[in-house]
């Protein structure tokens, strides 16, 4: 699907909304500080891969959406309490509080990688990482992986955004940053500030990182909305829209169609079950 065809499809779908009754309105949370996933350009407009994913989903569902920039630490709480209907912000299904928030199937996958100064590390193992300061985005699958894989060897420093961690890497406050390959590559290594830095080692072959990708978070009292968004993710994935967007923002294809079903919140799927313990 070419960029022109995608734009035409989105326009025709949105125009179809105005032909009937007033369309449903949804508040979709995004994070405006993580290029190329989501960012606010100089003129104040939201841009990025997740922004375009959200727009495509809303067009497919024929609903009007207000994209709301939210600090990452506040994003899931606002979805949980219903302030937002959903969130499209490269949120990992693996590390999410699935007992409280519903998630669609993944709409993209990107392996997790270590990045450091190019001359600092030859390999990645427990010995090489012993005592090293590693920056990671708080509450992600990458965070969980480091805690469980290197419980005593490394010094974890958690951040609200990967950009904040990369800034401390540049300033010498960290030895490495661990995060999504596409974000680290496009948002750092290919830019001027990324000169002298490189990926270290290979992507970890661990199901905690590769089993799930980012999904759309949906407020817990809206199982119908979750089902509709999950079906929309499946349809756009199958039609190649997400792969087109991945080429546009990351200069490479996304994965093939993903068959993983939606993750339903515990209280929606089993109302009588006790609340899950918070970690």
233/95 same-domain check: yes
Residues sharing a CB contact under 8 Å with residue 68, sequence separation 6 or more, in sequence order: 27, 28, 29, 30, 84
Strand, coil or helix: what is 178?
strand
Plot region of 132 (φ>0 → left; ψ -120 to 50 → alpha; else → beta):
beta
Spatial distance between the Cα atoms of 262 and 197, rounded to a whole number of angstroms:
37
Band (pLDDT 50/70/90 cuts) for residue 99 is low
Task: Give me the number of domains the chain comprises.
Answer: 2
Q: What is the mean pLDDT of residues 82-96?
A: 81
15/84 same-domain check: yes
> What's the pLDDT at 92?
72
156/171 same-domain check: yes
Q: Which of 180, 209, 238 is the last residue of a domain?
A: 209
143/176 same-domain check: yes
136/61 same-domain check: no
Query: Is the pLDDT score of 164 beyond 50?
Result: yes
* Cβ pair 34, 163 in contact under 8 A: yes
7/94 same-domain check: yes
Q: Which helix (H) or strand (E) holds 116?
A: strand 112-117
Q: CA triplet 141, 74, 42: central angle to 5 degrees?
A: 95
260 located within any domain: yes
Within 13 Å and on the Cβ side, how many CA atoms surround 214? 23
Residue 150's domain spans which residues? Answer: 112-209
> Domain holding 181: CATH number?
3.40.190.10
Spatial distance between the Cα atoms of 201 and 124, rounded to a whole number of angstroms:
5
Label each residue of 136-165 as H, E or C: EECCCHHHHHHHHHCCCCCEEEEECCHHHH
Band (pLDDT 50/70/90 cuts) for residue 79 is very high
Q: What percent of the chain lies above the pLDDT cut of 70?
A: 77
52 located within any domain: yes
Residues sharing a CB contact under 8 Å with residue 216, sequence separation 6 or more, in sequence order: 57, 86, 87, 88, 91, 103, 104, 107, 229, 230, 233
105/116 same-domain check: no
203 located within any domain: yes
Label each residue of 38-65 as H, E or C: EEECCCCCEECHHHHHHHHHHHHHCCEE
Instruction: Provide the residue count of the chain.
Output: 279
173/38 same-domain check: no
Strand 33-34 and strand 38-40: the pairing is: antiparallel
170 located within any domain: yes
Q: Which of 183, 209, 235 is the last residue of a domain?
A: 209
178/220 same-domain check: no
> What's the pLDDT at 140?
81
276 located within any domain: no
118/104 same-domain check: no
247 located within any domain: yes
86/120 same-domain check: no
Which pLDDT tens digit goes with each residue over 120-161?
898 899 999 999 999 998 888 889 889 999 998 999 999 988
152 located within any domain: yes
**46 forms bridges with which residues in the sheet?**
40
277 located within any domain: no
Residue, of 105 and 211, whose pLDDT is higher: 105
Q: Which of 209, 228, 256 is the last residue of a domain?
A: 209
186/220 same-domain check: no
């Amino acid at each position: 699907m070419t960029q022109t065809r995608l734009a035409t499809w989105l326009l025709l779908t949105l125009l179809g909304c105005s032909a009937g009754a007033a369309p449903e309105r949804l508040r979709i949370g995004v994070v405006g500080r993580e290029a190329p996933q989501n960012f606010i350009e100089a003129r104040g407009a939201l841009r990025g891969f997740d922004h375009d994913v959200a727009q495509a989903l809303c067009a497919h569902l024929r609903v009007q959406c207000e994209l709301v920039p939210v600090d990452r630490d506040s994003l899931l709480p606002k979805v949980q309490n219903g302030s937002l209907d959903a969130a499209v912000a490269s949120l990992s299904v693996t590390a999410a509080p699935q007992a409280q928030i519903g998630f669609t199937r993944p709409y993209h996958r990107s392996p997790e990688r270590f990045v450091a100064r190019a001359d600092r590390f030859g390999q990645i193992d427990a010995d090489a990482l012993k005592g090293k300061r590693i920056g990671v985005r708080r509450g992600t699958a990458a965070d969980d992986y480091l805690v469980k894989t290197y419980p005593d060897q490394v010094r974890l420093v958690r951040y609200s955004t990967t950009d904040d961690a990369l800034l401390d890497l540049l300033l010498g406050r960290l030895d490495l940053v661990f995060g999504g390959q596409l974000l680290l590559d496009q948002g750092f290594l290919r830019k001027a500030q990324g000169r002298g830095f490189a990926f270290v080692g290979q992507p970890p072959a661990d199901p905690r990182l590769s089993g799930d990708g980012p999904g759309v978070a949906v407020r817990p009292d809206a199982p119908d909305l979750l089902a509709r968004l999950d079906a929309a993710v499946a349809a756009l994935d199958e039609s190649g829209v997400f792969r087109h967007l991945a080429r546009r923002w990351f200069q490479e294809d996304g994965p093939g169609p993903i068959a993983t079903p939606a993750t339903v919140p515990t209280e929606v799927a089993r109302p009588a079950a006790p609340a899950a313990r918070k970690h």
